[in-house]
Amino acid sequence: MNITATHINLYHVCRRELWLHANGIRMEHTSDVVAEGKLIGELSYPERSERYTEIEIDGVKIDFYDARNRVVHEVKKSDSVENAHIAQVKYYLYKLRQHGVDGATGIVEYPKLRQRELVELREEDVEAIKDWEIDISGIIYGDICPPVIHSKICRRCSYYDFCYVDEDTY
Ligand code: SF4
């Protein structure tokens, strides 16, 4: 299984979610969340399709890449800037670099916040990403689903009912 940007994102959110996703366990409303995010992206940046192309490297799909300026765009519907989003875009930059595109940068757009975060790939990121990949492989091929993390983010997670089925509320 190729490591994807979704794996990188989930690795920074919750290892249990990473394992569940990678092992094909899906919850219904995930698709709604994805659709909402896509819609926000399309409505907020209708001109994007003219400037950006979709590319795929080793199974890692970059939806919006501006080849002329070497800029990756990523739109998040979230109402907060999250480390996982930055990590995901760093992974795109890492993959581009692996395939000979040096010096690409990224922009994470947050339409709800009217904010954008600039992302660069530093040397220390490259080393960290290699470690993420090793760690992620260990998790997704592991026989044991990692434990529930009991975090406030669980309430917004599509696996909430699955994870807390034996508990009243969290
Ligand atoms: S509900 Fe919480 S523990 Fe379960 S997968 Fe989601 S974030 Fe992880």
Which residues make Cβ contacts (< 8 Å) with residue 44, sequence separation at least 6? 75, 109, 111
Tell me the C-alpha distance between 112 and 105, whole Å: 22
* 3-state SS class at 110: strand
Range of the domain at 109: 5-163
Backbone angles phi, psi at 142, to 5 degrees: -70, 150
Residues in a beta bridge with 72: 65, 106
Q: Is residue 103 part of a domain?
A: yes
Pick from 17, 161, 164, 165 the residue to mutate for probing ligand 1's pocket: most ligand atoms within 8 Å of its CB: 17
pTM for the full model? 0.86
* Domains: count for the chain: 1
The predicted model gives 49-72 an average pLDDT of: 91
Hey, what are 156's tokens?
Answer: 């917004």
Minimum CA distance residue for ligand 1 atom 7: 154
At 108-166, the pLDDT tens digits run 999 999 999 999 999 999 999 999 999 999 999 999 999 999 999 999 999 999 999 87
CATH code of 86's domain: 3.90.320.10
The predicted model gives 37-45 an average pLDDT of: 58
Q: Is residue 93 part of a domain?
A: yes
Please report the atom of ligand 1 found closest to the CA of residue 149.
3
